[in-house]
Amino acid sequence: MTYTRINHLRKPLLILSLFIAAITSELYAQVSTKAPVGIPVKSQVGANNMPAEIAPIKAPFAMPLMQKPTFASLTMSILSKNAKKDVITTKEIQATIDEVNKRGGGTVIVPPGIWKTGRISLKSNVNLHIQEGAELHFSSEVEDYRPAVFTRNEGIELMSLGACIYANGQENIAVTGKGKLVGPGQGSVRKQVMEVDVIEKVVPLDKPVSERVYEGYNGEFIFLPMFISPINCKNVYIEGISLENTAFWNIVPVYCDGVIIRGVTVNSVGIPRGDGIDIESSRNVLIEYCTISSGDDCFTIKAGRGEDGLRVNKPTENVVVRYCLAREGHGGITCGSETAGMIRNLYIHDSVFDETGVGIRFKTRRTRAGGGDNLYYERIRMNLKHTAFNWDMLGSAMHMGELATRLPARPVTELTPAYRNIFAKDIIVERATHFVKINGIPESPLSNMRIENAEVNCKDLFLLNDAKDITIKNVNVTCPDSVININDGRNIKFQNVRFNVPGNRVTLNKTGELSKNIKFKNCSPKPVKL
């Protein structure tokens, strides 16, 4: 071929190469994702930003109108019953609550100063108002929480210390104000805590609840009191207070209907099992503008444990968490690990997890039953020490023995839990280890999970064990790791995902006999198999 002929062909080849380049550029433009907009920063959420009124709720499921409760005009200070500082003044505080209740309701005032007390029981139509500068310091001694009351501890019903502020079967109750609650010090309450084994191996589930009594006489163990725990109550309102140094979980509505928690600040850092807010087998719940620094999970959704939870069979449903700030803690928001009655219809939006461990966390165990369904996460910002989305469904051998071993798959029973129908969109992960980490149950894999519209910076990409019907769409992920690990995953779809990884090369490590139908649509670069 002559030089003239070669030169003659250069122009069409040039045009073709330019056309290919343009198409490639267009494809890359399609893959390139825009950062989600409207995601709050930490200065915009939490207790310091609580407005005076409660805004209407817009959720992907039906919610009732959530309004502040009203109380009769009667106002009575604990000083009216001769409450004194520097001594245990439980009787005087309780007498004030009881009188306001008997007179049709109203507000009980705890004035500025430090007040020492044992367990307090709220009564219907009473607002316990802790004024700014007031502190309720709760006793460190078991005797100040007797007699034992009906409660639920780690998802199992029993009779023990209950809660520092307790209520059972009451309506229209509140704890409000800018004052502070301080939990028990280093006395018999903390020294006599049950540490024999996991609770389901200690409490005799074959006995009636009335016979499961743990009052701590003669040094015998007790189950730690929660900080505030209404049980079987309707229309519960908690606003503005600060809590610190709890012995156990902080705010724990159990079997309640109609709960509003707003503008609360919790600090339980360094306290094992010092969860911030736990919603347990309750419904129609709004949590907003709260700031949590926790020794365990910050915001937690629970529904009973194993066989005892199945016996009770009460779900947690219709829960909205918004404009909240999770700081230090094991998880920003966690479902489980107690899931027996089912967790369904949860919507968390416009919140920030800053320096938290895991961001969005799902826990259960092979024997916990129930699970989670219809869980929604939207407009979340995360700056994390660990994983952004984490499913831990097997637990550890320390607590679960051989049941924590993934294989072989076990028979499905009424105690087999399941997580399904989980949707997250408009997410910013500023820092994390894994983006998505799934350790499912082989006989009950995580199913129908979708993450859409996310900007992610992480150290590791994806680890998926036992999951199906998973979609990751419109995601821009920057990561020094370039391996996607999928084990027994089926119907896994990555769509419009930009992987910003070293060498612009992503590899798929697919293992397990059940792994199939793993697709990458309009992703850049498109992963290659190991």
pLDDT digits (tens, 9 = 90+) for 79-96: 999 999 999 999 999 999
pLDDT band at 13 (very low <50, low <70, confident <90, very high): very low
Alpha-helical (H) ranges within 32-148 are 90-102
Q: The pTM is what?
A: 0.93
Residue type, 458: C
Look at 162 and 11; give whichever has higher pLDDT. Answer: 162
In the predicted model, what is the mean pLDDT of the chain? Answer: 94
The pLDDT of residue 15 is 39
The pLDDT of residue 34 is 65
CATH of domain 44-49+67-296: 2.160.20.10
The pLDDT of residue 10 is 42
Cβ contacts of residue 346 below 8 Å, gap of 6+? Answer: 301, 316, 319, 321, 335, 372, 374, 375, 376
If DSSP codes are grouped into helix, strand and coil, which group holds residue 247? coil
Whole-number Å distance between alpha carbons of 63 and 5: 76
Helix (H) or strand (E) holding 191: helix 188-191
The pLDDT of residue 314 is 98
Least confident window among 31-35, 240-244, 329-333, 518-522: 31-35
Sign, Cα dihedral of 21, 26, 31, 35? positive
pLDDT (mean) for 114-130:
98
Considering only CA atoms, which of 507, 510, 493, 497 is closest in space to residue 449?
493
pLDDT band at 36 (very low <50, low <70, confident <90, very high): confident
Look at 266 and 3; give whichever has higher pLDDT. Answer: 266
CA dihedral 229, 235, 240, 241 (to 10 degrees): -20
pLDDT (mean) for 56-82:
97
pLDDT (mean) for 277-300:
98
Share of the chain above pLDDT 90, in %: 92
Backbone angles phi, psi at 137, to 5 degrees: -100, 120
- Note the pLDDT tens digit of each residue in 363-421: 999 999 999 999 999 999 999 999 999 999 999 998 899 999 999 999 999 999 999 99
pLDDT band at 283 (very low <50, low <70, confident <90, very high): very high
Residue type, 384: L
Share of the chain above pLDDT 70, in %: 93
Instruction: Give the C-alpha distances (Å, rounded to integers) separating 278 from 49, 294, 476.
Output: 22, 12, 33
Considering only CA atoms, which of 298, 397, 301, 275 is closest in space to residue 357?
298
If DSSP codes are grouped into helix, strand and coil, which group holds residue 450? strand
pLDDT at 49 over 80: yes
pLDDT (mean) for 457-483:
97
The conformation of residue 299, written as its DSSP 8-state character, comes to E
Look at 9 and 51; give whichever has higher pLDDT. Answer: 51
Cβ contacts of residue 520 below 8 Å, gap of 6+? Answer: 494, 495, 497, 526, 527
Helix, strand, coil percent content, the chain, rounded in steps of 5: 15, 45, 40
The pLDDT of residue 37 is 79
Token pair recorded at residue 426: 């408009």
Whether omega for the bond prior to residue 80 falls within 30 degrees of 0, making it cis, is no
In sequence order, what are the beta bridge partners of 407? none
pLDDT (mean) for 298-327:
98
Token pair recorded at residue 84: 């004194």
pLDDT at 26 over 70: no
pLDDT at 432 over 90: yes
**Cβ(430)–Cβ(382) below 8 Å:** yes
In this structure, the number of other CB atoms found within 10 A of the CB of residue 415 comes to: 17
